[in-house]
Amino acid sequence: MQTMTNQPSQVYFGSIQHGNPGRFASMSAKLEKIIKHLDFSTIEKKDKVAIKMHLGFRDGYQTVPVFFARRVVEAVKETGGYPFVTDNPTAVYNAAERGYTSETLGCPLIPVAGVKDGYHEEREFDFHNVDTLSIAGVLRDADVLIDLSHAKGHNTCGYGGAIKNIALGGYTGPSRWKKIHGVENSIEYWDADKCSPEHAKELVETCPEGHIKYDEEKHELTIAFGMCNQCMECIDADEGTDCLHFGPENFALFQELMANGANEIIDTFDEDKRFYLNFLLDITALCDCWGIAQPAVVNDIGILGSRDIVAIEQATLDLIAKEGLVESMIPPYFRNVDLDSEDELHPFARIHGRMKTPYLVTEYAENLGMGSRSYELIELLSPDETKEMEAPKGVSEDQPTFF
């Protein structure tokens, strides 16, 4: 069990690479071993165990494979706890389209804030333009949290993993879409008095991505920071007028609020009843909310498990940085990808822009006392280890067969 000490936090790792073609060296065996090390024994009989996943939308099937989710469900059942998989109502409602059903998962699927997204508990926040957020009621009801996340890129903050899975997915739709996603506009970045309507229209035209909008009637200019790739063409076009100002602080707000939002939720669980599993598979550039199939921009890496949400996020980001981008897989609609800079940029910052440095969220989370960025990566059943092991003989098909 992970406790908050000065020691680095333990993060267990099962690599996609294997040293033997036998099942004992496969990813499923590694997941079982990671779960053993995570030690589910702190789950008590009859505990209600929320397995928070992102179940994707529409065609977005590249989430945590149901195959692995079912293994986690089975491991929870062995403790005597009652597992259920949960996500926002829409994703739960059409989850079967992506293969997630109570039959395939082995447990019920429950909408995280009720069927109409109205079952929640309001919490006060004092963060820029955010004064309250509504925590999904089903998470408040649960005794145990298993944060089962797909590691991937994210257009707003560079990266989405364990923190994002609960910081956004643990709140109701209005909190998520209007408040958390609206926080970036809370620092003033446009001076209306200095900007004529003509200049505002010119600025709109300069954005090659179409992320600047101008409402002439209200004389109001807005930037969709979540989509902005920081090409800075608008800032160049503004030279001489100087009505537009934005920088890393605008982009950082989202990550700071994510850390705060996740903290509010994990605090509702006892420290020994929180578990984190990150799946570094099918690592796409955009998050699962997009509801589309995407090329994987980073090779598959494996599975991580920890009791420390900060450590697992830090380790995930480090492993992705070490693996690097598969350049040929970067979709052409990312038009400001920085592959050449010698600056130490995380692969996701190269795609989404250097002001969307994905490590920020782990810094904020550590400062809030959510965990430690210092970690010990413990690889289980490594390829080196399993290549020395002897596979059991004659077990290629040990269940009922059609042959």
Per-residue 3-state assignment (H helix, E strand, C coil) for 333-385: CCCCCCCCCCCCCCHHHHHHCCCCCCCHHHHHHHHCCCCCCCEEEEECCCHHH
Please tell me whether residue 338 binds ligand SF4 under the rule CB under 6 A. Answer: no
**Nearer Cβ to ligand SF4 (240/394):** 240
**Nearer Cβ to ligand SF4 (230/386):** 230
Out of 228, 277, 365, 380, point to the residue binding ligand SF4 (CB under 6 A). Answer: 228
Out of 207, 286, 317, 349, point to the residue binding ligand SF4 (CB under 6 A). Answer: 207
Out of 211, 241, 382, 383, point to the residue binding ligand SF4 (CB under 6 A). Answer: 211
Please tell me whether residue 231 binds ligand SF4 under the rule CB under 6 A. Answer: yes
Please tell me whether residue 221 binds ligand SF4 under the rule CB under 6 A. Answer: no
Please tell me whether residue 234 binds ligand SF4 under the rule CB under 6 A. Answer: yes
Binding range to ligand SF4, per CB under 6 A, among 24-32, 120-128, 232-240, 309-317: 232-240
Beta bridge partners of 377: 11
Out of 32, 143, 233, 323, point to the residue binding ligand SF4 (CB under 6 A). Answer: 233
Q: In sequence order, what E strands does 170-273 have?
A: 212-215, 220-223
Please tell me whether residue 320 binds ligand SF4 under the rule CB under 6 A. Answer: no
Please tell me whether residue 232 binds ligand SF4 under the rule CB under 6 A. Answer: yes
Distance CA 355, CA 250 (A): 9
- Residue among 278, 267, 319, 366 at smallest CA distance from 52: 278
Torsional sign, CA 294, 297, 300, 302: negative
Contact criterion met (CB below 8 Å) for 337 and 314: no
Q: How far is CA 285 from the centre of its chain?
A: 12
**Nearer Cβ to ligand SF4 (245/322):** 245
Out of 206, 241, 374, 382, point to the residue binding ligand SF4 (CB under 6 A). Answer: 206
Crossing angle, helix 309-323 and helix 360-367, to 10 degrees? 160
Please tell me whether residue 212 binds ligand SF4 under the rule CB under 6 A. Answer: yes
Distance CA 201, CA 218 (A): 13
- Listed in sequence order, the DSSP H helices in 267-346 are 309-323
**Nearer Cβ to ligand SF4 (204/292):** 204
**Nearer Cβ to ligand SF4 (70/211):** 211
| Interacting residues with ligand SF4 (CB under 6 A) | 206-207, 209, 211-212, 223, 228-234
